[in-house]
């Protein structure tokens, strides 16, 4: 796992592959960053931890993507929500494949930080 360690004073861009997951970050030093989650169950906390480890000087602002917490993966919803608490995220944009039960659990736990996600949605930060 790389951590975009080739960054200079300005963090321009980083893309990491973590198994089947993706981590995409951009921003400048002393600015918040986002973790963009790939598509696989039980991975959200791991991707967030990896982002934090790679860029310790930047707080995580949000996470966007499909969390795949529906169907047989619903059993990990409580653990996923609990593990996400440590990141104090301002934006959680969970795509449709997260599942409605998981989106409901995230909304109950994180309130207005959970925002709708859809194809073509524009996020401004």
pLDDT tens track for 89-107: 999 998 888 999 999 999 9
pLDDT at 85: 96
Q: In whole angstroms, give the CA distance from residue 55 to residue 7.
A: 10
pLDDT at 97: 85
For residue 34, the cross-strand partners are: 62
Number of structural domains, the chain?
1
C-beta of residue 22 within 8 angstroms of C-beta of residue 72: no
What pLDDT, in 10s, does the model give residues 18-70? 555 555 565 554 445 555 555 444 478 888 887 788 777 778 888 888 888 99
Confirm whether 121 is domain-assigned. Answer: no
Confirm whether 124 is domain-assigned. Answer: no
Confirm whether 123 is domain-assigned. Answer: no
Confirm whether 49 is domain-assigned. Answer: yes
pLDDT at 5: 43
Mean pLDDT value of segment 5-20: 45
Q: What is the pTM of this model?
A: 0.74
C-beta of residue 73 within 8 angstroms of C-beta of residue 42: yes
Confirm whether 7 is domain-assigned. Answer: no
CATH number at residue 100: 3.60.15.10
Confirm whether 125 is domain-assigned. Answer: no
pLDDT exceeds cutoff 60 at 8: no
Query: Residue 34 is part of which domain span?
Result: 14-113
Confirm whether 9 is domain-assigned. Answer: no
Mean pLDDT value of segment 83-87: 94
Q: In whole angstroms, give the CA distance from residue 85 to residue 64.
A: 16
């Amino acid at each position: 796992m790389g951590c975009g360690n080739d960054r200079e004073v300005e963090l321009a861009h980083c893309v990491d592959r973590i198994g089947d997951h993706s981590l995409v970050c951009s921003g400048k030093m002393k600015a918040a960053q986002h973790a963009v989650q790939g598509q696989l169950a039980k991975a959200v906390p791991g991707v967030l931890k990896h982002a934090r480890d790679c860029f310790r000087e930047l707080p995580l602002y949000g996470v966007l993507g499909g969390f795949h917490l529906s169907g047989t993966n619903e059993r990990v919803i409580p653990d996923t929500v609990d593990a996400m608490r440590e990141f104090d995220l301002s934006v959680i944009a969970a795509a449709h494949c997260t599942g409605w039960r998981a989106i409901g659990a995230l909304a109950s736990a994180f309130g207005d930080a959970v925002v709708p996600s859809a194809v073509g949605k524009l996020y401004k930060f």
